[in-house]
Amino acid sequence: MNHERAATPRAARRTGSRALAAALVATALALLPAPAAHADSIRAQQWALDALHTDEAWRTTKGEGITVAVLDTGVDGSHPDLEGRVLAGKDFIGFGAGKGDRAWARHGTAMAGIIAGHGNGPGRADGVVGIAPEAKILPVRVILEGGDPARKRARSTRGNALAQGIRWAADHGADVINLSLGDDSKSAHPEPAEDAAVQYALAKGAVVVASAGNSGEDGDHISYPAAYPGVIAVAAVDSSGTHASFSTSRWYATVSAPGVDVIIADPDRRYYEGWGTSAASAFVSGAAALVRSAHPDLTPAQVKKLLADTARNAPEGGRDDDRGYGFVDPAAAIEAGGKLRPAGLRPTPAPHGKKYFGAGPGPLRDADEPAGWLAPAVGGIGVLLLAGSVALWRTSRPAAPRHFH
């Protein structure tokens, strides 16, 4: 399952108390208002931008011409940090919370902000800036928020949403597909339709990125879709580059990225600080967007190898299950990519066999439950990444404390 931790504002140090998500199906989380802070403090707390050497990468590109599909709970395209960046997308759920409801597009908006936020206000000096601020976001709703009353219904009726969403994104111009979701429960297993959809997207030229999973303190269960062949699976580290204890350690980890104390935007126009491998996946999707923008003819396999080969702070021996090949470095990947010759796409391979690897955020299910509800349930897990966070800043007065399930 995806484990998300409650955080305090970076201005004040975190306490030792942490909210641990139990089952994907029943996890309580609190959103607490923080003391009013000037908007500039939000940008100052985006440590990930410095760690990822974005200023160096941006000398070449900021992601112009690239579309990143965010398969999630929806994206609020009217958010000041995303306005003008969000394309018309697709809803494969068809019901549940709608725009304006609290249980709508929170997780998806946060991921989109990490990828392509451009800030707001005079000179865009306020708000969140993403790693690829000139990329476009293609929102594809394939899961529901944890607090959406319709989530249970979605589990039983929209089991193919994730596979459908991946194929749709690949057919509608996605250069990169971000999957900040997954199933890393004890009963997690590969779904042939999802595997085939991933292989289809890769063959169409889309880079596929997924969170490695948040079961690091609960057994390091293999997670899907991170485990499918060809996927860039992303583990989480903190600002010192240390493996996050909640981040799943498995042999499929490709690279690591910021996943602790990450500043995220929310449809309520507040900013929150949260952590999980969902955020790490979004950062690497942004990094992949920069590489694709600079070198549009490279194949997904070449982009994956580039990010792995140029990763910084590689573990002893070159790779380990905690951090993959090291901390993703988009600037280094862009430079190295200039020396490559495009390999050309290969025909779509048959779905993978019985040997799988991987781990991503997803829901628990009973042994007798059908696999069909897997994809929508996965959404509940990914959502928990942001839910256990604290509000840092808002343009208006703080709201009263809220408690969600």
Residues 137, 115: Cα–Cα separation, whole Å: 8
Full set of structural domains in the chain with CATH: 31-340+356-393 (3.40.50.200)
Burial status of residue 370 (CB atoms within 10 A of its CB: 0-12, 13-18, 19 or more)? exposed
Residues 337, 52: Cα–Cα separation, whole Å: 17
Give the angle subtended at the CA of 47 by the CAs of 42 and 50, to the nearest 5°.
120
Burial status of residue 401 (CB atoms within 10 A of its CB: 0-12, 13-18, 19 or more)? exposed
Residues 311, 265: Cα–Cα separation, whole Å: 27
What number of CA atoms fall less than 13 Å from residue 90's CA on the CB side? 18
Backbone angles phi, psi at 119, to 5 degrees: 75, -175
Order of strands across the sheet that contains 262-265? 262-265, 270-274, 390-394
State yes or no: is 78 an active-site residue: no
One of 72, 183, 184, 195 is an active-site residue; which one?
Answer: 72
One of 107, 221, 295, 352 is an active-site residue; which one?
Answer: 107
One of 185, 256, 278, 389 is an active-site residue; which one?
Answer: 278
Q: Which residues contact 128 (CB under 8 A, 6 or more apart)?
A: 42, 43, 46, 81, 113, 114, 117, 119, 263, 264, 265, 271
Residues 221, 248: Cα–Cα separation, whole Å: 7
Q: Which residues contact 212 (CB under 8 A, 6 or more apart)?
A: 223, 226, 233, 234, 235, 236, 247, 248, 250, 252, 253, 277, 280, 281, 358, 359, 360
Q: Which residues contact 258 (CB under 8 A, 6 or more apart)?
A: 47, 48, 51, 52, 236, 237, 238, 239, 279, 280, 283
Residues 159, 376: Cα–Cα separation, whole Å: 6
Task: Please report, in tens digits, the pLDDT of each residue of the chain (405 residues total).
Answer: 333 333 333 332 232 322 222 222 222 222 333 333 344 578 889 999 999 999 999 999 999 999 999 999 999 999 999 999 999 999 999 999 999 999 999 999 999 999 999 999 888 889 999 999 999 999 999 999 999 999 989 988 998 999 999 999 999 999 999 999 998 888 888 899 999 999 999 999 999 999 999 999 999 999 999 999 999 999 999 999 999 999 999 999 999 999 999 999 999 999 999 889 999 999 999 999 999 999 999 999 999 999 999 999 999 999 999 999 999 999 999 999 999 988 866 554 444 443 322 333 343 333 333 333 333 333 333 333 333 455 665 433 333 332 222
State yes or no: is 72 an active-site residue: yes
| 8-state DSSP, 290 | H
Helix 374-387 and helix 106-116: axis angle, to 10°? Answer: 70
E strands, 288-405, where? 390-394, 402-404
Backbone angles phi, psi at 317, to 5 degrees: 90, -5
State yes or no: is 243 an active-site residue: no
Residues 160, 137: Cα–Cα separation, whole Å: 22
What's the first-to-final CA gap in the chain, in angstroms? 15
CB atoms near residue 38 (< 10 Å): 9
pTM: 0.81
Residues 178, 341: Cα–Cα separation, whole Å: 25
